């Protein structure tokens, strides 16, 4: 096999186990070299959260702190997301968080030793897509929330614009609905405190719409013994049948359908 020249990007599909579980897929992702970003990142940063989370949040890629910790959304943007979820009434411990790209892409600042975020390109996003498809197929979330343009366009198409359709439920074969909103890191980059406060308020409003959607869906599916909603107000004290049967033989990306 000819040596690959940086930057290269191939599909990660061959790394995904034939009989995937979240644990085996997470373990397999640690050795992924499907694109050259593994040479930049300290480690693969796979998603985290409950096996049957109602909501999956998808960001762009891990940041500097996530790359070092090996966990998604643990840096400043993650802390802002935590606050927004609390304000929206969504239990942070009940959601699954991940990224479209699992390695940190960065470049060195000209006058600094800091690692500066660099947006992944389309080829790198496509190369990493089998990992995200695996997560969606195994968790089977009712709702997917995309954070920022990169994640939104990865799942909704290049024509999608967050600024135009944020906070709206969009039908998808991947889940009951996809909601798009801004990435918390964009709020941190706002020019002043007033702009940051307004942007955070708008993020909370988008997440509140997600919470309302979950409550409405929980009421509609209650007679069928649906799972508890991810919102605090919809928690149940007793477990009910999940209504989930064995996975049908569908493409991994489509197994999120109910």
Span 68-110, pLDDT tens digits = 999 999 999 999 999 999 999 999 999 999 999 999 999 887 7
pLDDT tens column, 5-43: 567 889 999 999 999 999 999 999 999 999 999 999 999
Chain mean pLDDT for the chain? 86
Spatial distance between the Cα atoms of 24 and 187, rounded to a whole number of angstroms? 35
Spatial distance between the Cα atoms of 232 and 116, rounded to a whole number of angstroms? 36
Which burial class, exposed, middle or buried, applies to 19 when counting CB atoms under 10 A from its CB (0-12, 13-18, 19+)? exposed
Query: Out of 18-22, 23-27, 111-115, 165-169, which region has the weakest mean confidence (pLDDT)?
Result: 111-115
171 membership: H or E segment, kind and range: strand 170-172
Buried b (16+ CB within 10 A) or exposed e, 59-76: bbbbbbebbbbbbbbbbe
Kindly report the pTM of this predicted structure: 0.83
Flag whether pLDDT at 244 surpasses 70.
no
Q: Torsion angle of alpha carbons 45, 147, 113, 75, nearest 10°?
A: -70
Output the pLDDT for position 226.
40
Q: Quote the tokens at residue 73.
A: 């959304």
Measured in whole angstroms, the distance separating CA 158 from the mean position of its chain's CA atoms is 17
Which sequence spans correspond to the domains of the chain?
A: 12-223
Query: What is the third-level CATH fold of 12-223?
Result: Uracil-DNA Glycosylase, subunit E (3.40.470)
Q: Are 45 and 30 in contact (CB under 8 A)?
A: no
164 membership: H or E segment, kind and range: helix 162-165
Q: Quote the tokens at residue 174.
A: 């991947």
Output the pLDDT for position 4.
60
Output the pLDDT for position 116.
85
């Amino acid at each position: 096999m000819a040596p690959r020249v940086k930057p290269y990007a191939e599909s990660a599909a061959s790394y995904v186990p034939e009989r995937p579980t979240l644990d085996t897929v997470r373990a397999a992702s640690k050795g992924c070299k499907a694109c050259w970003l593994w040479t930049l990142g300290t480690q693969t940063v796979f998603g985290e959260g409950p096996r049957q989370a109602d909501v999956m949040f998808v960001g762009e890629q891990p940041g500097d702190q996530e790359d070092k910790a090996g966990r998604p959304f643990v840096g400043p943007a993650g802390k802002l997301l935590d606050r927004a979820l609390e304000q929206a009434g969504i239990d942070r411990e009940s959601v699954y968080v991940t990224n479209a790209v699992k390695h940190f892409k960065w470049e060195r600042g000209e006058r600094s030793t800091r690692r500066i975020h660099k947006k992944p390109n389309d080829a790198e996003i496509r190369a990493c897509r089998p990992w995200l498809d695996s997560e969606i197929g195994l968790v089977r979330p009712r709702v997917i929330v995309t954070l920022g343009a990169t994640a939104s366009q990865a799942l909704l198409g290049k024509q999608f614009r967050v600024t135009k359709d944020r906070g709206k439920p969009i039908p998808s074969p991947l889940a009951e609905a996809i909601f798009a909103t801004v990435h918390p890191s964009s709020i941190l980059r706002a020019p002043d405190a007033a702009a940051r406060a307004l942007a955070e308020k708008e993020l909370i409003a988008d997440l509140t719409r997600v919470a309302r959607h979950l409550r409405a869906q929980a009421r509609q599916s209650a007679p069928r013994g649906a799972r508890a909603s991810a919102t605090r107000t919809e928690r149940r004290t007793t477990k009910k049948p999940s209504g989930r049967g064995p996975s049908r033989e569908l493409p991994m990306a489509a197994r999120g359908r109910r």
